[in-house]
Amino acid sequence: MSSRILAFAGSARRDSLNRKLLAVTVKAVEAAGGAVTLLDLNDYELPLYHGDLEEEKGMPENAQRILELMRTHVGLLIASPEYNSQLTPLLKNTIDWLSRADDDPFEGKVAAVVSASPGSLGGARSLQHARHLLLHLGCYVVPAQCILPKAHEAFNTDGSLISARSQKSVEALARQLVEMTTKLS
C-alpha cells in the first residue's frame, strides 16, 4: 500500500514558482511510491481567521472539506512561498483554520516543506517558519529540506528543474517523505 500524501502550495498565483516546485516534487513523491492528492487552495477559499467568526458560524465549509481530505492522508507536502521573510497569509490562514478542528488534524502527520524564491536564499526563511509551525502542531517533519534560490531561472520550459543538484534535493525529500509515511501507515 502506498503512502497517501496531501500536497498544496501556499500561493494562489497561477504561475507561482512554488506551485512549479510543488509539481516537480509531487512527481518525485509518486516516483518514490507515494500516492499524492494535489490540492489547489484557490478551490478552498477561506475567510481570514477570526475567533468571533468561528464562535458565531463555526468551521467554514471549505476548511471542513480540507480536513476531510487530511484525515484520509498520512502525509503533507507543502510548498511555502516567502513574503517579507515569512509565511504567506494564504498558508498561515489555511493552517490556522485547520488547527481549530477538535481532532488535532496535524498530530502524527508526516510533513515535508519545499520553498522557492527568486532571491538568493530560496525561501529558506519561510521554509523554517513552516517547519517550526508544523512541528508545533504535532507533525513529524522530515529532515530533508528543499529550497530553490533564483527560482525564476530554475525551470525548463516543460516545468522540470534545470539543475541536477536541485532535482537531487527534491528526490531526497520525496524519498524521506514516502519512507516515513510508509512506516506510519
Helix axes 89-98, 61-71, angle to 10 degrees: 70
**pLDDT band at 35; cut points 50, 70, 90:** very high
Cα–Cα dist 155/148, whole Å: 10
**pLDDT band at 46; cut points 50, 70, 90:** very high
pTM listed for this prediction: 0.96
Longest Cα separation, the chain: 51
CATH of the domain at 63: 3.40.50.360
Number of domains into which the chain is organized: 1
Please tell me the predicted confidence (pLDDT) of residue 2: 63
Burial of 51 (0-12, 13-18, 19+ CB in 10 A): exposed
Please tell me the predicted confidence (pLDDT) of residue 1: 44
CA torsion, ordered 174, 23, 128, 180, to nearest 10 deg = -20
Q: Does the pLDDT of residue 4 top 80, yes or no?
A: yes
Q: Does the pLDDT of residue 176 top 70, yes or no?
A: yes
Domain of residue 13, residue span: 4-184
Please tell me the predicted confidence (pLDDT) of residue 30: 97
Please name the helix (run of DSSP H) or strand (run of DSSP E) that holds residue 179, with its range, or none. helix 164-184
Cα–Cα dist 11/19, whole Å: 7
